[in-house]
Amino acid sequence: MKPGTLSLPFRQKLWLGLAAVLCAALFLRTIPRVLAQGQVTVLRGGTVIDATGAPPMPNAVIVVRGERIENIGQGIATPPGAEVIDVSGKFIVPGLWDKHLHYKSWFPELLISNGVTSGWAQEGSPWIEAQRDGVSKGKILGPRMFLRIQSIDFYGTPDEARRRTLDLIQRGADFIKVYTMTPPDLLKVIAEEAHRAGKIVEGHFGITARQAIEAGTNGLTHSTGIELDTVKPEVLEKELPAWRVIDQGRSRVVFPKVSAWNESKTNGPNPDLTEYWLWLEDPRRLMLFGKMDRSMAQDLIKLMVQKQVYIEGCQIYVFRHVNDRVQEYYREDLELLNNPNLHYIPEVIRTNILDYTLLDKLTPDELALMKQGYRNYQWFIKTFVDAGGKIIVGPDTSSIWHATMMPGVATRRELQLLVDAGVKPMQAMQFATKIPAETLGKGKDLGTLEKGKIADLLVLNRNPLDDITAFKQVERVMQAGRWLPVGYHYDFVNPIPNPGESWLTFPGKEPLSDTPELITSISPQLVTEGSGAFTLTVKGREFVSTAVIQAGDRWLRTEVVSPSELRATVPADLVAQAGTISIQVAHAKPGWGKTNSMNLYVKFK
């Protein structure tokens, strides 16, 4: 390090210390402005590609009133008092969707600047609800989010499967996701209940694609199970068990011995063919694709199209090491991560994104079979789409179990890989706009640029139908009629941060702490700004008579209900503005010390 140069961690800490002082000023730039009622914006002169499948419309006019498209076409007059934006020579397309979004507080600028205006959030928590609500009110920068709340991952009774499904629906899940432990008979019950409520079911399954389809799934997350239904039995029974286990040397990847699922197991399907942990990018999975029997694949494609089952497009992650653009993407990632305005990307994410050390551990034969797997998967995708199948772009951004996908960047790269596979650019674009919206039942309002729909749109410098990489240059982003800030800023902060976000750890690098983990829950965990004083309940263990609840830097008058429950009144001024408040329990001497913390989220009114 050069003399006088601040280290990155020091700069991060310095900024965090100044954040509270500068926060109000930052809102003026990083938070989209709230629309005045009836405000009109006119985009004039550009070429509209509306994602309906219609031909591009040159010299078009889009009239946006409030959050919706009032009119779209050619030769439309400008309403009085409208703000007119000249977009001559530009291309206007719908905002993109990321179907598989593990949302974190540092995502917003990367997603929006790469054109992602909506997403399927693969979780549910008070924090993510505060983010979703803040975005919908125009007070937080970020994509519009639809929540799965929680995945269903268990091996039990049909009644329990039904109860869990209904519970998620009642809690507001926009879709139902099933995970690896769930067998076909329980998936069938889950699908029946979800469909009865008008919800779709998808899954990262521990069963074959055919089993999942016959049980009623609507979609295959990460294309799971396809590789098991497109190889001959002898490959699974004889060749696969002989393939070596390749350890990437990280706690995030443990490759188990692979064997066939044994239905007689009382604790659920054998996890060897699942993500315990990350069968998704296991070299053996990619090598199975390399053994694909195309006649078997044709049979599976026929079934999928007949049952209208979609595939989640996730080539950028699953085939990360063997796609044709590894070097290109590595160079781009290196350039992005050297951008000082993106200093807020966590160090562990930087490490993962640039890590391709698995390639050094593969033999030439293994690598060749993995690359053949990529070729076969490209053929499968092209054949599936040509037969009428639907794909939804979802690069798994950026799950704590692998965390190798750059938000927003991964979405546009997936479009490029779809086109590389032979998918037409219009189809690829629809798989990240029209199809995800329609699949969720939101096509009436979102997904295409049509009269009456919500104005989520991008202004591009180039025609994506000529070159899908046009999404690398997003000039403007409109979400619900609001222009959002585009670009990366050194001083970006999320107004409702999520301290303590779960991040990947590595052997020897796990965080060490002597802080006792005594708090197990706080209630409520999500309140609205300006809602006034309220009673906070803290539950845990080993609370003593001298226990005091600390909210941020404020000590609260605390009632010790029992050794496992505390209560205190949170004053109105503490929750007067949106933000995040750390809750801890402190003990006076002789049992002096503080517990672990949990976050109280104050969402926008």
Residues 438 and 524 in one domain: no
Q: Are residues 439 and 531 in the same domain?
A: no
Residues 408 and 533 in one domain: no
Name the 3-class secondary structure at 129.
helix
Q: What is the pLDDT of residue 435?
A: 99
Indicate the number of domains in the chain. Answer: 2
User: Cβ distance 6 to 28 under 8 Å?
Assistant: no
My answer on whether 431 and 575 are in the same domain is no
User: How much is the pTM?
Assistant: 0.87
Q: What is the mean pLDDT of the chain?
A: 86
Q: Which residue range forms the structural domain that includes residue 140?
A: 96-447
Residue 311 belongs to some domain of the structure: yes
Helix (H) or strand (E) holding 193: helix 184-196
575 and 433 in a single domain? The answer is: no
DSSP 119: E
Tell me what pLDDT residue 588 has. 67
> Which backbone phi and psi does 527 adopt, to 5 degrees?
-130, 170
Residues 7-49: pLDDT tens digits? 334 344 434 444 433 443 444 344 544 555 679 999 999 999 9
Q: What is the pLDDT of residue 17?
A: 41
pLDDT at 88: 98
Q: Are 192 and 217 in contact (CB under 8 A)?
A: no
Query: What's the Cα-to-Cα distance from 436 to each of 196, 429, 455, rounded to whole Å?
Result: 20, 11, 16
The reply to whether 464 falls in a domain is no
Cα 408 to Cα 437: distance, rounded to the nearest angstrom: 17
CA distances from 580 to 122, 124, 399, 527 (A): 22, 17, 23, 10
Domain end call among 447, 481, 501: 447
Could you tell me if 350 and 219 lie in one domain? yes
Mean pLDDT to the nearest integer, 108-121: 98
Place of tokens 């590789």: 227
- Distance, in Å, from the CA atom of 491 to the CA atom of 14, rounded to the nearest integer, reads 11
Could you report the per-residue pLDDT of 160-218, keeping only the tens digit for each? Answer: 999 999 999 999 999 999 988 888 999 999 999 999 999 999 998 888 999 999 999 99
- H or E element: which one contains 192? helix 184-196
Read off φ and ψ for residue 198, nearest 5 degrees: 80, 20
* C-alpha 193, offset from chain centre: 25
Residue type, 426: M
Tell me: pLDDT of 510 over 80.
Answer: no
Residue 526 and residue 387 in one domain: no
Which of helix, strand or coil describes residue 59?
strand
Rank 42-51, 202-211, 511-520, 584-593 by mean pLDDT and report only the highest.
42-51
User: Residue 108: helix, strand or coil by DSSP?
Assistant: helix
Which of 397, 428, 447 lies at the terminal end of a domain, its last residue?
Answer: 447
Query: Are residues 421 and 526 part of one domain?
Result: no
438 and 528 together in one domain: no
Q: What is the dihedral of CA 494, 151, 203, 388, to 10 degrees?
A: -50
- What confidence tens digit (pLDDT) does each residue in 232-277 have? 999 988 898 788 766 544 333 222 333 333 333 333 333 333 333 4
The whole-number average pLDDT for the span 144-166 is 94
**pLDDT above 80 for 509:** no
pLDDT at res. 181: 81
The pLDDT score that the predictor gives to residue 470 is 98
Q: Is residue 25 situated within a structural domain?
A: no
**Is there a contact between 461 and 469 (Cβ–Cβ < 8 Å)?**
no
Asked whether 495 and 25 are in contact (CB, 8 A), the reply is no
Predicted local distance difference test score (pLDDT) of residue 586: 87
Length of the chain: 605
In this prediction, residue 284 has a pLDDT band, given cuts at 50, 70 and 90, of: confident
* Burial class, 317, CB count within 10 angstroms (exposed 0-12 / middle 13-18 / buried 19+): buried
Q: Left, alpha or beta for 65 (phi > 0: left; psi -120 to 50: alpha)?
A: beta
**What is the pLDDT confidence band of residue 590, given thresholds at 50, 70 and 90?**
low
How is the chain split among helix, strand and coil, in percent rounded to 5? Answer: 35, 20, 45
Rg of the chain in Å (alpha carbons): 25
Please name the helix (run of DSSP H) or strand (run of DSSP E) that holds residue 47, with its range, or none.
strand 40-48
Report CA torsion sign: 456, 461, 463, 468: negative
593, part of any domain: yes
Does a structural domain hold residue 483? no
441 in the same domain as 524? no
68 close to 455: Cβ distance less than 8 angstroms:
yes
Least confident piece of the model among 75-89, 219-233, 238-252, 319-333: 238-252
The Cα 126–Cα 141 span in angstroms is 17
Pick the more confident residue, 468 or 499: 468
Question: What pLDDT was estimated at residue 575?
Answer: 96
Query: Tens of pLDDT along 544-580?
Result: 888 899 999 999 999 999 989 999 999 999 999 999 9
SS3 per residue for 527-555: EECCCCCEEEEEEECCCCCCEEEEECCEE
pLDDT for position 402: 65
Nearest to 411 by CA among 281, 279, 310, 315: 315
Please state the φ and ψ torsions of residue 357, each to the nearest 5 degrees: -65, -20
pLDDT per position as a tens digit, 365-414: 999 999 999 999 999 999 999 999 999 999 999 876 567 899 999 999 99
Is pLDDT of 6 > 90? no
Same-domain check for residues 539 and 440:
no
Amino acid at site 383: T
C-alpha–C-alpha distance, residues 2 and 319, integer Å: 39
Identify which of 327, 300, 321, 322 has the alpha carbon closest to the alpha carbon of residue 311: 300
Q: Is the pLDDT of residue 327 over 50?
A: yes
| 335 part of a folded domain | yes
Task: Determine, yes or no, domain membership for 125.
Answer: yes
Note whether 216 and 321 are same-domain residues.
yes
DSSP string, 339-359: -GGGTTS-HHHHHHHT--THH
Distance CA 480, CA 208 (A): 40
CA–CA separation, 31 and 59 (whole Å): 31
The CA angle 385-315-109, to the nearest 5 degrees, is: 110
Contacts of 94 (CB under 8 A, 6+ apart): 50, 51, 433, 434, 446, 447, 448, 449, 456, 457, 458
Is 162 part of a structural domain of the chain? yes
401, 418, 447 — which closes off a domain? Answer: 447
**Diameter of the chain by CA atoms?**
79
Q: Which two structure tokens, joined as six digits, stand for 88?
A: 């001559």
Sorted by sequence, the CB contacts under 8 Å of residue 283 that are 6+ apart come out as 243, 246, 358, 362, 366, 370
DSSP secondary structure code for residue 173 in this structure: -
Which comes out higher in pLDDT, residue 220 or 10?
220
Q: Give the strand pairing for 57-65 and 68-73.
A: antiparallel
AA identity, residue 519: I
Beta pairing, strands 176-178 & 201-203: parallel
CATH number of 590's domain = 2.60.40.10
CATH number of the domain enclosing 197: 3.20.20.140
CA–CA gap between residue 345 and residue 358 (Å, rounded): 23
- Assess contact for 310 and 96: CB atoms under 8 A: no
Q: What is the pLDDT of residues 404-463, one digit of tens each?
A: 899 999 999 999 999 999 999 999 999 999 999 999 999 999 999 999 999 999 999 999
Quick check: 438 and 53 in contact, CB under 8 A?
A: no
